[in-house]
Amino acid sequence: MPEVRLLRRYEVSNKLRIATYIVSFILGVILFILVEIAYGADFNDILFKLFIKPITSYEDLKVTLRYFIPVGITSLGLLITYRAGIYSIGAEGQLVLGSIFVAWVAYSFASLEKPISIVMALLAGVLGGVMWALIPGVLKGFLNVNEVLTTLMLNFVAYSLTDYLIYGPWRSPKSFNFPLTEPLNESYIIPTYMGVSIIGIAIMISLIVIINVIIKYTSIGYEIRAYGYNPAAAYAAGISPRKVALLTFILSGALAGLAGALQLTTVHYRLGPKPWSVSESLGYTSIIAAWLSRLEPLAILPASMLLAMLINGGLNIKASLGQPEGIVNLMNGIILITLVATEFVLNYRVVIKLR
Amino acid sequence: MSARNQTPLIAVLVVLIIVAGVGGYLAGSSAAPTKTVTTTVTQSATVTMTKTVTTTVTVTPQPKKLKAAWVYVGPIGDYGWSHAHDVARRYVEQLFRDWLVTGYVESVEEPKVYDVIKKLIDEGYEVIFTTSFGFMDGTLKAAKEYPNVIFFHCSGYKRWDNMGTYFADLYQLYYLNGLMAGALTKSGKVGYVAAHPIPEVIRHINAFALGVKEVNPSAKVYVVWIHAWYDPPKARAAAESLIAQGVDVLAFTEDSPTVVEVAQEYTSRGKPVYAFAHYSPMLKYGPDAVVSGQLVRWEAIYADILAKIYSGAYNTTNLRNVDYWWLLSEGAVDLGADFGVPINPKFIPVLKNITVTERITGEKMSVYDVVMLRLNQMKDPRPAFDPFCAVSEPILTQDGKVLVRPGQCLTHDDLWNMMVFVDNVVGSIPAG
C-alpha cells in the first residue's frame, strides 16, 4: 500500500495557483463532456457552443458582455465585504433597489436631458444600493446582528417592494393592467456601440483599478484586510469594527446599486413583470464570481468573464443544441464545484510514498 | 499528517465521478433529444397526442421545410402551461411532418428571451413562438431587428409587421365549472386558489363566480392569492386554509395538480371536497374529487398559424393585426377532467338530480343539462351565450356598481382590462 500524506501549505505561488485553476477547469469540462457523451451529444459541438462561440461570434460576444458587466461590478463590491470577513449575500437586493431608485428618478424627472439624466440615474442607483446595504451594515456594526440572515432576507423584501410597485402605483396605464411599469424616457437610456455597452465596461474596469488600489494601498484597505484576518487582533490594534462594517457595506451596496442602474438603463428599460426581471438573479451569480476570484480585485475580470460565458453557454446548450434545462444545471454544478473543490490542492500538498 | 487525511481527496474524487455518472445517466434517460425523429414518445399523460413516430425521411422531398421554435418560460414537465404548449408542439410536428421541423427551449427566464431568440435565429429557425407574457418586450425587440423572421407571442398585446399574438382563454370553462360548483357546494362556500392579480386570472375568477351565482345565488366564492404561477406548497396551504374556512369546492389557477390532490385527500378521509382540474387532465390525481375542469388545445391555434405561414397567407409584413383570441367555438379550449371526459362519471348522477331554473328560458332542468346546454351554446361558431353578457339583471361588482347592463356584453378589451370582482366574490385584489 502506498502511503499518502497531506501536508499543509502555507504559501502558494501565483504560478501554482493559476495552474491549479486551469487544470481544475479542464477537469470540470472533461467531467461535463462525459455527461454529454452519456447523454448522447456530440462533444465537439458542445465545446464549440460552450467555450468558442460565446467569445468568437460577435452576436454571442454581445450576450456574454451583457452579463459580464453586472456580474463584474457586483462581485467587486461583494469582494470588499468578504475581504473584511463579512459574508454579505445581499447584492441581489441592493441591485434591485438600485434599479428601483433609477426608475423613481426617471419617472419623477422625466424632462431632464442627457448627460445630466444619465449621471442622475447612476447616482440614484448607487444611493439605492447604499441605503439597502446600510440596513445590514448598521445592524452588523452596532448590534452585531448576523449579516448572512439580514442580507438574505432583505433580498426578498426588495423583490416584494418591486412587486408592490409594478402591481400597484407604478403599473403602466397602457399595459392592459399587466404588471409592468412605463419604459424609461429616451434620455435615461445609455447608448450602446454596436450592441456593446462601452460605458458599462469602462465603468467596470476603472472600478476594478480603484478598488484594487483602495484594498491594497490605503489605510482603509489595510483596516479592512486586518479585520478580515483576525477581528479580535484588529480590534485590539484600534480598528473600529463599526467603521469596517459600515464602510464595506456602503461600498458593496454602492457597486451593486450601480450594477442595477446599468441593468435598467442599458438592458431592460423598465421594471417588471417579475421582481427579478431587472436583476436576473445576477446578485447571486456574483457571489460565485467573487469567491472564484479568490478575493483578488484584478481576478474579478476572468472570474466574471467565466460566469458570463457559462450563462451564455448555458443558453447555447438549450437554444442551439435543443437540450433540456437539467443539462445546463449539471454543467454549472460540475464546472463550479470542480473549481472550488480543487482549492484543496492549494491548501494541502499531497505526498505519496511507495513503501 | 496521518492516513485519515486521504479521506477528503478520495471523497471529492468519488463524489465528482458519481455526480458525473449519475447525472449523465439520468439526463440521458429522462429526456430525449428533440432532433431525433425516430424517438418513441411514451408520456402516458397525453394519451390523445401520443402516436409512435416511426416515419423516416419521406422519399419525395418537399420544396420547402419550415423551421419553427417554441420558447417556454417553465420546464416542459410542469404539468401546466409550458407542458400544454409542448404537447401542442409535438402534435403539430407530427401533423405537418412533411414540411415542419420544430425545436424548443425550456425554462427561459423572461429577461433572457431576446438572447435566446437570437440564438434560435442563428440556428435557422424562421418562426418563433414565445409563450409567456414576460417575453413580450424581448420578442418585439427581436421582431424589429429581424424583419425576415415570423414571431408569434402568446398572451401579450404588442404586435408588429412580423409579430402576431395569440391566446386560448378559459373563461367560458370556468363559468361552466362554476355552474357545477354552485350546485355541489353544501356549505355555500366555494374556494379559488389564485395565482397573480392580473386581468386574466380575475376574469377567470369572475366567470367562475357568475356560474356559481347562476345556480346558487347565495353562495360565495372565497379567493386566496398565492402570487405564483407554480408553487405547490403555497397552493396546498391556500387550499387547506380555504377548507378550514368551510369551503367544500375548489377551483384554482396554478400549474400543478396540488389543489386536486388536497381535495382527493380530504374526500378519501370522508370529508368530501371537490375540485376542478386546471389546464391539464388531472382526473387521475383525484378520481373521487375532480368534477370537471378546463383543458386547452393549443394545437388548434398552432396548426392554424403554421398552415397559414406555410401557404403564404401569413408573411413577415401582414401580422400587425393578427390576434388570435380563441375560445370554445374555435376548439382551442375544452371542458373536462380529462380529454374525452367532460364531467367525471361519478358526478353525472348527482348533477342530474339537482334541478334549477334555467335563467334565460325560465325552464326547470337539471344542472347537468344546463351545463351541456351552455357548452353547446358556446361551442357554436356563432356563440348563443356568453357569461359576461347580462340578460335580465345587471352584473354587479363587489361594491355594488353596475359592471354590465342588462342586454349588454363586455368587449374583448373590457375582458383584457378586468380589475374588479363581481358581487359574490369574497376577497380583494391586492395592490393597485
Tell me which chain B residues have a C-beta less than 8 angstroms from the C-beta of A316: 119
Whether B51 maps to a domain, the answer reads no
pLDDT level of residue B24 (50, 70, 90 thresholds):
very low
End-to-end CA separation in angstroms for chain A: 7
CB within 8 Å: A318 and B227: no
Distance CA B167, CA B144 (A): 22
CB within 8 Å: A320 and B33: no
Nearest CB to A320 within list B19, B123, B133: B123
Tell me which chain B residues have a C-beta less than 8 angstroms from the C-beta of A329: none
Q: How buried is residue A284: exposed, middle or buried, by Cβ count under 10 Å (0-12/13-18/19+)?
A: middle
CB within 8 Å: A278 and B416: no
Whether residues B249 and B316 fall in one domain: no
Which residues make beta-bridge pairs with B129?
B70, B152
pLDDT level of residue B63 (50, 70, 90 thresholds):
low
Q: Provide φ and ψ at B44, rounded to 5°.
A: -75, -15
pLDDT level of residue B39 (50, 70, 90 thresholds):
very low
Nearest CB to A315 within list B119, B197, B227: B119
Domain-ending residue, one of B274, B306, B329 = B329
Contact A83, A68 (CB under 8 A): no
pLDDT level of residue B301 (50, 70, 90 thresholds):
very high
Between residues A47 and A343, the one the model is more confident about: A47
Interface membership of A322 toward B (CB under 8 Å): yes
Whether residues B308 and B263 fall in one domain: no
Distance CA A296, CA A293 (A): 6
Which residues make beta-bridge pairs with A353?
A3
Minimum CA–CA partner of B137 in chain A? A268
CB within 8 Å: B23 and A35: yes
Among candidates B343, B357, B354, which has minimal Cα distance to B217?
A: B357
Q: What stretches of B193-344 show up as alpha helix (H) in DSSP?
A: 199-215, 232-244, 258-268, 298-311
Q: What is the pLDDT of residue A176?
A: 82
Distance CA B428, CA B197 (A): 10
pLDDT at residue B49 tops 80? no
Q: What is the pLDDT of residue A257?
A: 98
Q: What is the ipTM of this complex?
A: 0.91
The region that residue B411 occupies, defined by phi over 0 for left and psi between -120 and 50 for alpha, beta otherwise, is beta
Whether B394 maps to a domain, the answer reads yes
Quote the pTM value: 0.87
Q: How close A39 comes to chain B (CA, Å)?
A: 4
Number of domains in chain B: 2
Interface membership of B227 toward A (CB under 8 Å): yes
Q: What is the pLDDT of residue B334?
A: 95
Between residues B319 and B9, the one the model is more confident about: B319
Q: What is the pLDDT of residue B19?
A: 52
Contact B273, B243 (CB under 8 A): yes
Quote the crossing angle between the two packed helices A300-319 and A58-83, to the nearest 10°.
Answer: 140
Q: What is the pLDDT of residue B77?
A: 84
Domain-ending residue, one of B329, B351, B385 = B329
pLDDT in tens, B101-116: 999 999 999 999 999 9
CB within 8 Å: A3 and B115: no
Whether B38 maps to a domain, the answer reads no
Interface membership of A23 toward B (CB under 8 Å): no
Minimum CA–CA partner of B23 in chain A? A35
Whether residues B224 and B254 fall in one domain: yes
**Residues 54..83 of A with a Cβ closer than 8 Å to B: which?**
57, 59-60, 63, 66
Q: What is the pLDDT of residue A18?
A: 87
pLDDT at residue B23 tops 80? no
Whether residues B87 and B192 fall in one domain: no
Interface membership of B133 toward A (CB under 8 Å): yes
Q: How close A323 comes to chain B (CA, Å)?
A: 6
Whether residues B353 and B244 fall in one domain: yes
CB within 8 Å: B16 and A338: yes
pLDDT at residue B61 tops 60? no
Whether residues B325 and B338 fall in one domain: no
Nearest CB to B133 within list A6, A169, A273: A273
How many residue pairs from chains A and B have C-beta atoms closer than 8 A? 150
Q: What is the pLDDT of residue A175?
A: 83
Distance CA B218, CA A183 (A): 45
pLDDT level of residue B58 (50, 70, 90 thresholds):
very low
pLDDT at residue B33 tops 50? no
Whether residues B175 and B146 fall in one domain: no
pLDDT at residue A273 tops 50? yes
Q: Where are the domains of chain A?
A: 1-41+333-355, 68-304
End-to-end CA separation in angstroms for chain B: 66
| Nine cell digits for residue A67 | 452579463
CB within 8 Å: B33 and A35: no
Average of per-residue pLDDT across A102-126: 95
Interface membership of B349 toward A (CB under 8 Å): no
Average of per-residue pLDDT across B124-133: 96
pLDDT level of residue A342 (50, 70, 90 thresholds):
confident
Among A303-317, A336-350, B72-86, B321-335, which is the least confidently predicted range?
A336-350
Q: How close B8 comes to chain A (CA, Å)?
A: 9
pLDDT in tens, B170-192: 999 999 999 999 999 999 999 99
Whether B22 maps to a domain, the answer reads no
Quote the crossing angle between the two packed helices A219-229 and A198-217, to the nearest 10°.
Answer: 70
Interface membership of B145 toward A (CB under 8 Å): no
pLDDT level of residue A15 (50, 70, 90 thresholds):
confident
pLDDT at residue B14 tops 60? no
Between residues A272 and B364, the one the model is more confident about: B364
Q: Which of B109, B112, B133, B231 to mutate to test the interface with A (most CBs of A within 10 A)?
A: B112
Whether residues B215 and B108 fall in one domain: no
Q: What is the pLDDT of residue B34?
A: 37
Distance CA A201, CA A300 (A): 13
Tell me which chain A residues have a C-beta less than 8 angstroms from the C-beta of B68: none
CB within 8 Å: A40 and B123: no
Interface membership of A326 toward B (CB under 8 Å): yes
pLDDT at residue B20 tops 70? no
Among A165-169, A315-319, B49-53, B384-388, which is the least confidently predicted range?
B49-53
Among A80-84, A218-222, B52-56, B234-238, which is the least confidently predicted range?
B52-56
Nearest CB to A6 within list B1, B196, B431: B1
Tell me which chain A residues have a C-beta less than 8 angstroms from the C-beta of B197: 167
> CA A258, A259, A262 angle in degrees (round to 5)?
90
Average of per-residue pLDDT across A223-227: 96
> CA A23, A26, A29 angle in degrees (round to 5)?
155
Tell me which residue range forms the domain holding B135.
66-168+298-329
**Residues 144..163 of A with a Cβ closer than 8 Å to B: which?**
163
pLDDT at residue B312 tops 70? yes
Whether residues B403 and B312 fall in one domain: no
Whether residues B253 and B375 fall in one domain: yes
The region that residue B256 occupies, defined by phi over 0 for left and psi between -120 and 50 for alpha, beta otherwise, is beta
pLDDT at residue B48 tops 60? no
Write down the residue that cell numbers 345556480 correspond to: B215
pLDDT level of residue B60 (50, 70, 90 thresholds):
low
B250: Cα within 13 Å, side-chain hemisphere: 37
Interface membership of B62 toward A (CB under 8 Å): no
Interface membership of B141 toward A (CB under 8 Å): no
pLDDT at residue A253 tops 50? yes
pLDDT at residue B426 tops 90? yes
Average of per-residue pLDDT across B356-375: 92
Minimum CA–CA partner of A341 in chain B? B12
Q: What is the pLDDT of residue A10?
A: 81
CB within 8 Å: B19 and A333: yes
Name every residue whose Cβ is closer than 8 Å to that of residue A175 and which is 6 or more positions away in sequence. none
Q: What is the pLDDT of residue B50?
A: 39
Whether residues B261 and B375 fall in one domain: yes
Instruction: Determine which helix (DSSP H) or strand (DSSP E) holds B417, and give its type and residue range.
Output: helix B412-417
Distance CA B185, CA B274 (A): 9
Tell me which chain A residues have a C-beta less than 8 angstroms from the C-beta of B123: 319-320
Q: Ranked by mean pLDDT, which of A351-355, B19-23, B39-43, B271-275 comes out on top? A: B271-275
**Residues 212..271 of A with a Cβ closer than 8 Å to B: which?**
267-270
Write down the residue that cell numbers 355552474 correspond to: B179
CATH of the domain at B73: 3.40.50.2300
pLDDT level of residue B79 (50, 70, 90 thresholds):
confident
Distance CA A256, CA A160 (A): 18
pLDDT at residue B431 tops 70? no
Q: What is the pLDDT of residue B18?
A: 52
Among B44-53, B336-345, B397-406, which is the least confidently predicted range?
B44-53
Nearest CB to B109 within list A169, A280, A337: A280
CB within 8 Å: A6 and B197: no
CB within 8 Å: B5 and A59: no
pLDDT at residue A146 tops 90? yes
Between residues B267 and A340, the one the model is more confident about: B267
Q: What is the pLDDT of residue B42?
A: 37
Tell me which chain A residues have a C-beta less than 8 angstroms from the C-beta of B8: 344
Quote the crossing angle between the two packed helices A58-83 and A91-108, to the nearest 10°.
Answer: 110
DSSP B290: E
Whether B25 maps to a domain, the answer reads no
Domain-ending residue, one of B273, B308, B329 = B329
Q: What is the 3-state secondary structure (H, E, C) of chain A?
A: CCEEEEEECCCCCHHHHHHHHHHHHHHHHHHHHHHHHHHCCCHHHHHHHHHHHHHHCHHHHHHHHHHHHHHHHHHHHHHHHHHCCCCCCCHHHHHHHHHHHHHHHHHHCCCCCCCHHHHHHHHHHHHHHHHHHHHHHHHHHHHCCCHHHHHHHHHHHHHHHHHHHHHCCCCCCCCCCCCCCCCCCHHHCCCCECCECHHHHHHHHHHHHHHHHHHHHCHHHHHHHHHHHCHHHHHHCCCCHHHHHHHHHHHHHHHHHHHHHHHHHHHHCCCCCCCCCCCCCHHHHHHHHHHHCCCCHHHHHHHHHHHHHHHHHHHHHHHCCCCCHHHHHHHHHHHHHHHHHCHHHHHEEEEEECC
Whether residues B84 and B138 fall in one domain: yes
Instruction: Determine which helix (DSSP H) or strand (DSSP E) holds B94, and give its type and residue range.
Output: helix B81-95
